[in-house]
């Protein structure tokens, strides 16, 4: 992609204001028109949010978006919608033992509400605060129960596919364990065995960095710096790694760009958290410097791969090994084309990845200023693209906020307009939420503030 090194946060202020204006309309439309009885909204079809049963992983984005809208605008109607939805509908997500998505669902709702109370944007109330805290404590422990030990003595939080399956996505949901740990909680096992949630969160991050990310070190014939496998498969009998795989990507040997983006965002935000800890808290896990080296290598590799394999405007296609991508020629030399006839783009990967680039850039400001500036300016460049058409949805009749998101291309779940050959023009709960999160983050930086997932507890 082409990075605009002259772009400043201030240059995006007007676009961000317009973004929040449109965002509020979309949230209100869903609140008024979506039929909650059909299940959680997942993605749009012909501009209307609909559901798709697989796992319940998007409801936190629905109510979390409204909470972020309140944070950005101060409109209390959005706070009430997000708070009411959280208190009435999110309990099942706290106790859900069947998914790896607790950091998505619960930190986005209970966590954001607790953060707003801690920073004075919600009037302090001890009972309400304790309600959010106990939900977050339990969520982290429930998530941590999905644990597979591996042969090197570590382990990982396994996906909904089962104990053999490590998803790269989960590096962004491991924050549920971190928040629960910060609230003084542990996972209690048989015979009152107390398991450290911090320890499990770090071990999961180390396993993800080792097995889901490639570094050009000869692991296989397709080993390239920053390439990412969606799923890593293990033999649960002996804990040994077996092979890469993909559920939503084209194959285990290609890079599904939303999985890449989860890693781009997940590792920098974990680095932000770990760097705040007393070094003694990490000594038993090898120490901060050793963990930082692994996490930082994964963060830089994935962000570098994104920059090298994305269109000039910062929007990626859904998989860098998609079977008909070659029909587009060298797509990295021009802006992405969501209306092409061969392979769809995925704006949700851009929304997630933009935040990762911004956070990594800030993390490296003092450690490696030149690289930090490159990543930060890349994040701004991606964000600017998302804040304009054809990605920003300006049609009041469309419930989505960020257009041209893809859910599951291999399964054919995405809506294809009449006469088209590929899906385009639709939105997703995760794409819309993460765009809001990225714009909120940028806005807070512009105001001299910060926005981190652990601000709710630290």
**What residues contact residue 340 under an 8 Å CB cut-off, 6+ apart?**
328, 422
Diameter of the chain measured on Cα atoms: 62
Q: Per residue of the chain (458 residues), what is the pLDDT tens digit?
A: 999 999 999 999 999 999 999 999 999 999 999 998 889 999 999 999 999 878 889 999 999 999 999 999 999 999 999 999 999 999 999 999 999 999 999 999 999 999 999 999 999 999 999 999 999 999 999 999 999 999 999 999 999 999 999 999 999 999 999 999 999 999 999 999 999 999 999 999 999 999 999 999 999 999 999 999 999 999 999 999 999 999 999 999 999 999 999 999 999 999 999 999 999 999 999 999 999 999 999 999 999 999 999 999 999 999 999 999 999 999 999 999 999 999 999 999 999 999 999 999 999 999 999 999 999 999 999 999 999 999 999 999 999 999 999 999 999 999 999 999 999 999 999 999 999 999 999 999 999 999 999 999 99
| Residue 43 to residue 27: CA distance in whole angstroms | 14
End-to-end CA distance of the chain: 36
Which residues have C-beta within 8 Å of that of residue 341, sequence separation ≥ 6?
A: 327, 421, 422
Query: Which residues are CB-neighbours of 367 under 8 A, at least 6 positions away?
Result: none
pTM: 0.98
Full set of structural domains in the chain with CATH: 9-456 (1.50.10.10)
Is residue 382 within 8 A of residue 357, CB to CB? The reply is: yes
Helices marked H in 145-234 — which ranges?
A: 175-182, 197-211
Ramachandran assignment for 389, one of left (phi > 0), alpha (psi -120 to 50 degrees), beta (any other): beta
């Amino acid at each position: 992609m082409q990075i605009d090194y002259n772009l400043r946060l201030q240059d995006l202020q007007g676009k961000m204001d317009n973004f929040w204006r449109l965002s509020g309309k979309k949230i209100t439309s869903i609140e008024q028109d979506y039929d909650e009885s059909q299940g959680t909204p997942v993605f749009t079809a012909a501009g209307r949010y609909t559901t798709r049963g697989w796992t319940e992983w998007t409801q936190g984005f629905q109510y979390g978006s409204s909470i972020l809208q309140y944070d950005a605008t101060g409109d209390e109607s959005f706070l009430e919608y997000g708070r009411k939805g959280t208190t009435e509908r999110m309990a099942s997500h706290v106790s859900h033992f069947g998914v790896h998505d607790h950091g998505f669902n619960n930190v986005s709702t209970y966590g954001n509400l607790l953060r707003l109370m801690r920073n004075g944007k919600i009037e302090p109330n001890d009972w309400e605060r304790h309600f959010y805290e106990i939900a977050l404590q339990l969520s982290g422990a429930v998530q941590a129960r999905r644990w597979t030990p591996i042969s090197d003595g570590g382990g990982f939080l396994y996906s909904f596919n089962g104990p053999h399956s490590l998803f790269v996505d989960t590096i962004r949901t491991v924050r549920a364990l971190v928040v629960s740990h910060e609230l003084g909680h542990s996972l209690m096992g048989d015979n009152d065995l107390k398991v450290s949630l911090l320890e499990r969160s770090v071990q999961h991050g180390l396993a993800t960095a080792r097995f889901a990310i490639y570094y050009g070190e000869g692991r296989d014939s397709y080993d390239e710096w920053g390439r990412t496998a969606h799923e890593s498969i293990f033999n649960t009998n002996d804990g040994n790694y077996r092979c890469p795989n993909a559920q939503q990507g084209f194959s285990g040997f290609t890079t599904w760009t939303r999985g890449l983006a989860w890693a781009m965002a997940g590792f920098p935000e974990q680095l932000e958290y770990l760097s705040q800890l007393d070094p003694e808290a990490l000594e038993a896990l090898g120490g901060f410097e050793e963990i930082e080296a692994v996490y930082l290598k994964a963060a830089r590799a994935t962000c570098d791969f994104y920059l090298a394999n994305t269109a000039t405007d910062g929007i990626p296609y859904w998989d860098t090994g998609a079977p008909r991508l070659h029909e587009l020629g060298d797509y990295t030399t021009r802006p992405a084309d969501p209306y092409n006839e061969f392979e769809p783009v995925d704006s949700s990967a851009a929304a997630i990845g933009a935040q990762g680039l911004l956070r990594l850039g800030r993390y490296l400001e003092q450690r490696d200023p030149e690289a930090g500036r490159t990543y930060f300016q890349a994040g701004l460049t991606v964000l600017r693209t998302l804040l304009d058409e054809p990605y920003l949805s300006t049609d009041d009749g469309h419930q989505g906020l960020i257009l041209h998101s893809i859910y599951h291309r291999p399964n054919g779940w995405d809506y294809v307009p009449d006469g088209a050959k590929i899906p385009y023009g639709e939105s997703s709960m995760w794409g819309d939420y993460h765009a809001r999160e990225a714009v909120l983050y940028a806005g807070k930086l512009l105001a001299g503030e910060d926005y981190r997932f652990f601000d709710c507890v630290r």
